[in-house]
Structure 1
């Protein structure tokens, strides 16, 4: 498949209310009439960025995972985003990529946000994930991972680097700059899906969900600081053209990451 159509769902998140959030996402996604390959939701899309997993965590057999599977099947598209998962006595900020078939691939956030004490209540992941879907290779990462380019380095020849986030307005300039940098240095499409609104801790979020191509050109309008959905078709030929012409990835450093 040469094109991959992705819907960026930029939304406000009702604080710690999974039922209401699922209902709102269902309405937004079901209202999209055109065929989409992947729907992308923000980080901790059922709760907001909460440090209370003991009250909010779900299991992989829980209602949100089942909801994602049902919606993926109904829309014949993948659904992805991160939520709070409890497993083996630990809590994870876990990214789920759920295909129409019901197949689930997971990535546990590697870099926990120490400024908010995330490392005190969540367990960090240790494995990078490359999702292979419809002929595309997608590398999903979560929010604070964006600040650590070594972890994101394109040693797997992936096509898309995908970030979901609760990135506050006060540091939105860093979000904009780092997403563009990741696209340029990894010669890939970079997608960033962020939330909007104000959470219970009085942090304001201004969105700036966006797609950059492999040259760092912005392909979206960059959804303003309110709820919105943007759908964009990624083109495999575009990546191939510039990778073959410029060959920058052939000169990358070789290294191993210790976790």
Structure 2
């Protein structure tokens, strides 16, 4: 068990529906990260950007991008998390993969498909929440639109950190800013959001606002510009334990189950 967890937040431009260019760009960024990083967080659909053209750009779980993630994790001795377009048993998924340094992986399918963009008509929604156990930390990874639904992310598992990977557009970035902070405070957990920058193939602009909050809603990162950047933040178990013991808010939450 580690008292600290060092996480690299990768805010990057994504080339529209071009997995080769995106993998190449991200490989350079990952390889340039210092050796004391435990986890690298990539944006949503990091190999293609947020596209509804799943029939043309999807990959199987044995495909090049999944294998790329596994190889990057092994070569750099670091865990990697991000989502991509997967075809599995004749269905398309916006699937998040958490790849451990030894190449093993966990998966989470986006629960809340973004109906405004028609994602619900193309991609099959997930049904299971994922809690990752990594180096003694319990991590809850989510995807973009999931951020708007606090019931789904309620901290009933005693997780330590929420991690959102996203393609969240500039036009609604104020909601992203507010909800990331709220999720941290209400769940008494670190909350990390990694968003892309640049224009996509549909002309939507993304301005980053990648950020991380501690359990009290204080910013942990120093990212202020809408440009490509990689910032490493350090999470502390002592911070979590001290504040949960002092405030004990999670013990007072409502008890119910999602059916």
Equivalent residue runs for 1:235-250 within 5 Å: 235-250=236-251
Corresponding position of 1:212: 213
Change (3 A) 1:70 1:16: same
Tell me the CA shift for residue 101 of structure 1: 1.2
Tell me the CA shift for residue 168 of structure 1: 0.2
Change (3 A) 1:104 1:42: same
Write the distance in 1 (CA, Å) between the matches of 2:31 and 2:23: 12
> Is 1:117 aligned with 2:118?
yes
Corresponding position of 1:28: 29
User: CA RMSD, aligned part only?
Assistant: 0.7
Corresponding position of 2:6: 5
Corresponding position of 1:161: 162
Structure 1 ranges of 4+ moved more than 2 A = none
The 8 Å contact of residues 138 and 161 in structure 1, kept in 2 or not, is answered as yes
Corresponding position of 1:43: 44
Write the distance in 1 (CA, Å) between the matches of 2:30 and 2:103: 18
Tell me the CA shift for residue 33 of structure 1: 2.7
Structure 2 unaligned residues grouped into runs of 5+: none
Corresponding position of 1:53: 54
The 8 Å contact of residues 95 and 107 in structure 1, kept in 2 or not, is answered as yes
Structure 1 unaligned residues grouped into runs of 5+: none
The worse-fitting range, judged by mean Cα deviation, of 28-37 and 209-218 is 28-37
Write the distance in 1 (CA, Å) between the matches of 2:94 and 2:68: 18
TM-score (norm 2): 0.99
Tell me the CA shift for residue 34 of structure 1: 3.5
The 8 Å contact of residues 223 and 230 in structure 1, kept in 2 or not, is answered as no
Write the distance in 1 (CA, Å) between the matches of 2:53 and 2:98: 23
> Is 1:180 aligned with 2:181?
yes
Write the distance in 2 (CA, Å) between the matches of 1:223 and 1:123: 35
Residue correspondences, number? 258
TM-score (norm 1): 0.99
Write the distance in 2 (CA, Å) between the matches of 1:129 and 1:42: 17
1:173-197 CA-partner distances (Å, limit 9, x unpaired): 0000000000000000000000000
Write the distance in 2 (CA, Å) between the matches of 1:62 and 1:225: 31
Corresponding position of 1:149: 150
1:95-118 CA-partner distances (Å, limit 9, x unpaired): 000001111100000000000000
Write the distance in 2 (CA, Å) between the matches of 1:5 and 1:101: 18
